[in-house]
């Protein structure tokens, strides 16, 4: 199959993409978080194609993308007031809510769970495609399973050229990490994945938030978890990643002492000077975490090279969007973290 590239600003792009979705084909869609690999979320056969194209485990459910907040009533039941408050505050935007699923949502989309994840993306052309198709679009991130997520149309083409019908090219994604996921099906709201909407923002609306253990630590593959996606190795280039913590100077001293010709450094823009001669790659400014979230996956893709043996990475600290960057980088590093202050 020839994969069509449809520029977002082209007049007939939404109509062409919607037609493919209606015919149960696969279209990569731009969103403010990352590119999604989309299909008709109400059709088993269409959704099955997403799992096949990505090589995604069948027990990892997809997010249902809607054009308007009111659409969630078609796919969810027993919706708490807090869901409407969150939609009012943050939609369209990088927030996914997990709610009880109606029977209209096929098992393939929810991976057999009684709940479904829903989100209204902050991207006009993608919402127009959903409206014209007349169905919600089920979409996980458009990367091949396990690989760093796709934040440009070129990343999607690299992973899926000839294997999907079309890619809508909306330019680089603004946020750059996947949506925040909050589960609203229990007594207390639970953060399943940090993202562009921060824990602080959620608490400002909900007044309460439990942080799921999958957010902070490594999950045993046999464990039953709330967000099935959190247990898989994720976001990772081929080579090992080691996060080095500590002050700029101490971390640089540690890395410069241990680095070999086959290794690379993934650091903040402010640190490039400290790694002269070590071929460093910056993914954004430590002083502005939104540049780190926007740049992380493109950098991890650049470093996805079998010739690289080890990647020494610097990770931001603190809350806000930095919290989501930490979560992705620590998962990519399989929680391999060295304290540059202590190690010689």
| Kind and range of the H or E run holding 298 | helix 289-302
Using CA atoms, how far apart are residues 98 and 95, in angstroms rounded to an integer? 10
- 31 is an interface residue for Mg ion by CB under 5 A: no
- 140 is an interface residue for ligand AMP by CB under 6 A: yes
How many residues of this chain bind ligand AMP (CB under 6 A)? Answer: 20
Nearer to Mg ion, 135 or 142 (CB): 142
**Range 265-284, binding Mg ion (CB under 5 A):** none
- 31 is an interface residue for ligand AMP by CB under 6 A: no
For residue 120, the number of C-alpha atoms closer than 13 Å in the C-beta half-sphere is: 18
SS3 call for 213 = helix
Q: Which of 43, 141, 150, 326 binds ligand AMP (CB under 6 A)?
A: 141
Give the residue nearest to ligand AMP (CB): 229
Using CA atoms, how far apart are residues 328 and 66, in angstroms rounded to an integer? 25
SS3 call for 280 = strand
**Range 189-248, binding ligand AMP (CB under 6 A):** 192, 226-230
Q: Which of 141, 151, 198, 239 binds Mg ion (CB under 5 A)?
A: 141
Contact between 312 and 265 under an 8 Å Cβ cutoff? The reply is yes
Q: Which of 61, 170, 195, 340 binds ligand AMP (CB under 6 A)?
A: 61
Using CA atoms, how far apart are residues 244 and 343, in angstroms rounded to an integer? 10
Which does residue 321 bind out of Mg ion, ligand AMP, none, counting CB within 5 to 8 angstroms by kind?
A: none
How many residues of this chain bind Mg ion (CB under 5 A)? Answer: 2
The count of residues in the chain is 344
Binding piece for ligand AMP, criterion CB under 6 A, among 113-121, 159-167, 212-220, 326-334: 113-121
- 326 is an interface residue for Mg ion by CB under 5 A: no
Which residue, among 66, 71, 234, has the nearest Cα to 138 in the 3D structure?
66
CB within 8 Å of 280: residues ≥ 6 apart: 264, 265, 266, 267, 271, 272
Which does residue 92 bind out of Mg ion, ligand AMP, none, counting CB within 5 to 8 angstroms by kind?
A: none
- 98 is an interface residue for ligand AMP by CB under 6 A: yes
Closest CB 229 distance from ligand AMP, rounded Å: 2
Which residues does residue 119 pair with via DSSP β-bridges, in sequence order?
A: 65
Which residue, among 96, 49, 46, has the nearest Cα to 76 in the 3D structure?
96
List interacting residues with ligand AMP (CB under 6 A): 60-63, 98, 110, 113, 115-117, 140-141, 178, 181, 192, 226-230
């Amino acid at each position: 199959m020839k994969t069509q590239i449809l520029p977002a600003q082209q007049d007939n792009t939404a109509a062409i993409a919607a037609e493919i979705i209606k015919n149960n084909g696969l279209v990569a869609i731009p969103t403010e978080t990352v590119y999604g690999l989309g299909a008709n979320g109400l059709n088993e056969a269409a959704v099955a194609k997403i799992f096949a194209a990505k090589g995604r485990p069948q027990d990892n459910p997809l997010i249902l993308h809607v054009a308007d907040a009111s659409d969630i009533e078609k796919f969810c039941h027993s919706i708490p007031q807090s869901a409407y408050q969150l939609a009012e505050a943050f939609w369209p935007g990088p927030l996914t809510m997990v709610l009880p699923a109606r029977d209209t949502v096929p098992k393939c989309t929810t991976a057999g769970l009684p709940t479904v994840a829903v989100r209204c993306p902050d991207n006009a052309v993608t919402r127009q495609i959903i409206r014209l198709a007349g169905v919600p679009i089920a979409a996980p991130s458009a990367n091949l399973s396990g690989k760093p997520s796709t934040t440009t149309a070129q990343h999607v083409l690299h992973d899926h050229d000839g294997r999907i019908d079309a890619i809508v090219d909306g330019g680089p994604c603004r946020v750059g990490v996947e949506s925040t996921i909050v589960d609203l099906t229990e007594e207390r709201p639970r953060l399943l994945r940090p993202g562009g909407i921060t824990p602080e923002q959620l608490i400002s609306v909900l007044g309460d938030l439990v942080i799921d253990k999958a957010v902070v630590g490594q999950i045993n593959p046999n464990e039953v978890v709330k967000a099935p996606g959190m247990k898989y190795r994720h976001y990772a280039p081929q080579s090992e990643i080691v996060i080095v913590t500590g002050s700029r100077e101490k971390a640089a001293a540690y890395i410069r002492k241990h680095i070999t010709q086959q290794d690379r450094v993934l650091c903040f823009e402010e640190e490039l000077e400290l790694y002269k001669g070590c071929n460093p790659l910056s993914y954004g400014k430590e002083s502005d975490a939104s540049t780190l979230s926007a740049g992380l996956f493109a950098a991890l893709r650049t470093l996805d090279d079998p010739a690289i043996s080890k990647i020494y990475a610097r990770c931001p600290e603190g809350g806000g969007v930095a919290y989501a960057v930490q979560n992705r980088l620590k998962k990519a590093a399989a929680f391999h973290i060295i304290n540059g202050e202590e190690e010689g």
